[in-house]
């Protein structure tokens, strides 16, 4: 069960001033009862741009909420989502709207959240009280606030493709899915233990397509679909090389060799270790390169951080794919904890497993950061090359002028 709360306040300041008070962590810490730390700027290198990351430390040891800015329509609408709030927090979406009034502006802050264990209502009331107390302080502060009415972040207007382009991208994504299914089927027919990771890779692709198909689930479904053939190329290239005894990346060599190990007394252990090693190779090796390759090919004129909200929304596909694989495993290959896992929420289970080994969420964030840094480096190199070319052109003109 989900729960929600909403607060409204009248502020004696302009909508632009209210925007800055609500979205700039430096200003937010003047009135919020929970300290806010900027973890990373969004598009435009701004704290209020799409893709910006913030950490909210709740009072009285209430934990930390890691947020990503999903929409920023200056100075009227600001949407953020908690992508990591601990194992019990399943969903947390916040929306702040600002409407101009005769005396200033009216802000409306709405939060919808859902937690495991049926405690959503209790937590919503607790957080709602804290937000209400913070807004009381904001209301008093706004009466005397004098802020620079700087421009807001770049206009939040995702460049969605038309239906024909989206349909073409979907058809292109179905080709790798068909090939992955055939690979997993062939390995299963040969009783090759690499079949288990090949099958989970197929399921990940299916889950990604399903998310892209869901209306309103993503800001840029085209971006998600465009990633799938690139992921597939890295996957099949390394699998083919390994099977032929040719060089492949160190991470994939470890992953495939781990998949092939056997333990007659505990046949489930090589399966789980192989899955973990394969996921690690995909995230640590392939993911940063695939993100960069797709960005170069299709979205070079856009800030990669614009796609971070969608990237974070894809996190559950790994859990969904793993659950499907566990359901497929023969009884002898199922881990002892499988019956327990079916009775607890996947996010709780994933957090526990992450502490024991590879933490998918944290490693995915590192992979995105590596891709983002690469785009920045390439952008700076491109600017330097452009400036050098311009300087060379000016020098050539100067030399060609008569004395």
pLDDT band at 392 (very low <50, low <70, confident <90, very high): low
pLDDT band at 353 (very low <50, low <70, confident <90, very high): low
pLDDT band at 361 (very low <50, low <70, confident <90, very high): confident
- Look at residue 70 and tell me whether its pLDDT is greater than 90: yes
124-166 pLDDT, tens digit each: 999 999 999 999 999 998 876 666 656 677 766 666 778 999 9
pLDDT, position 319: 85
Whether the CB-CB separation of 82 and 65 falls below 8 Å is answered with yes
Strand partners, 82: 67
Distance CA 243, CA 252 (A): 11
Helix or strand (DSSP H, E) at 157: none
- Mean pLDDT comparison of 95-109, 313-327, 355-369, highest-scoring range: 95-109
pLDDT, position 291: 98
Of 152 and 244, more confident:
244
3-state secondary structure at position 11: strand
3-state secondary structure at position 38: strand
pTM attached to this predicted model: 0.89
178-229 pLDDT, tens digit each: 999 999 999 999 999 999 999 999 999 999 999 999 999 999 999 999 999 9
In 10 A of CB 58, how many CB atoms? Answer: 16
CA 339 → CA 90, 331, 342, distances in Å?
Answer: 21, 11, 5
Q: For helices 360-400 and 287-298, what crossing angle results, to 10°?
A: 40
3-44 pLDDT, tens digit each: 999 999 999 999 999 999 999 999 999 999 999 999 999 999
In 10 A of CB 138, how many CB atoms? Answer: 22
Whether the CB-CB separation of 146 and 21 falls below 8 Å is answered with no
- CA-nearest of 176, 205, 170 to 314 is 205
Residue 383, both tokens: 């600017």
Q: Which domains does the chain possess? A: 2-144 (3.30.530.20), 163-386 (no CATH)
pLDDT, position 258: 93
pLDDT, position 145: 65
- Look at residue 342 and tell me whether its pLDDT is greater than 90: no
pLDDT, position 157: 64
- CA-nearest of 304, 277, 298 to 367 is 304
- Look at residue 175 and tell me whether its pLDDT is greater than 60: yes
pLDDT band at 279 (very low <50, low <70, confident <90, very high): very high
Residue 158, both tokens: 């995702």
| C-beta pairs of 86-89 under 8 Å, 24+ apart in sequence | 86/351, 87/116, 87/345, 87/347, 87/348, 87/350, 87/351, 87/352, 88/115, 88/116, 88/117, 88/119, 88/347, 88/348, 89/65, 89/113, 89/114, 89/115, 89/347
- Look at residue 387 and tell me whether its pLDDT is greater than 60: no
pLDDT, position 381: 62
């Amino acid at each position: 069960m989900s729960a929600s709360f909403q607060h409204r306040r009248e502020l004696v300041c302009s909508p632009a001033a209210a925007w800055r008070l609500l979205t700039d962590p430096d200003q937010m810490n003047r009135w919020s009862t929970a300290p806010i730390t900027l973890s990373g700027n969004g598009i435009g290198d701004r704290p209020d741009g799409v893709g910006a990351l913030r950490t909210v430390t709740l009072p009285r040891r209430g934990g930390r909420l890691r947020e990503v800015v999903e929409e920023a329509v200056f100075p009227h609408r600001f949407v953020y989502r908690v992508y990591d709030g601990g194992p019990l927090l399943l969903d947390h979406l916040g929306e702040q709207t600002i409407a101009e009034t005769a005396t200033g502006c009216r802000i409306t802050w709405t939060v919808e959240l859902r937690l495991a264990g049926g405690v959503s209502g209790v937590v919503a009331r607790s957080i709602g009280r804290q937000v209400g107390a913070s807004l009381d302080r904001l209301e008093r502060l706004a009466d005397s606030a004098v802020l620079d009415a700087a421009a807001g972040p770049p206009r939040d207007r995702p460049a969605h493709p038309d239906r024909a382009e989206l349909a073409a991208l979907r058809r292109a994504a179905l080709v790798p899915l068909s090939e992955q299914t055939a690979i997993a089927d062939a390995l299963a027919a040969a009783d090759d233990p690499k079949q288990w990771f090949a099958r989970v890779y197929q399921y990940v692709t299916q889950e990604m397509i399903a998310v892209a198909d869901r209306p309103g689930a993503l800001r840029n479904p085209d971006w998600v679909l465009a990633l799938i053939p690139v992921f597939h190329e890295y996957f099949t290239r390394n699998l083919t090389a390994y099977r032929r005894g040719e060089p492949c990346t160190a991470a994939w060599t470890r992953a495939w060799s781990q998949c092939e190990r056997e333990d007659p007394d505990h046949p489930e252990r090589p399966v789980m270790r192989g899955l973990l090693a394969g996921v690690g190779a995909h995230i640590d090796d392939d993911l940063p390169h695939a993100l960069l390759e797709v960005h170069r090919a299709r979205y070079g004129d856009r800030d990669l951080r614009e796609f971070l909200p969608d990237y974070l929304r894809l996190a559950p596909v790994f859990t969904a794919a793993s659950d499907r694989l566990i359901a497929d495993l023969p009884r002898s290959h199922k881990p002892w904890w499988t019956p327990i896992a079916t009775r607890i929420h996947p996010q709780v289970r994933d957090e526990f497993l992450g502490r024991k080994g590879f933490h998918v969420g944290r490693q995915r964030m590192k992979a995105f950061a590596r891709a983002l840094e690469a785009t920045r480096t390439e952008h700076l190199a491109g600017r330097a090359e452009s400036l050098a070319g311009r300087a060379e052109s000016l020098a050539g003109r100067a030399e060609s002028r008569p004395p």
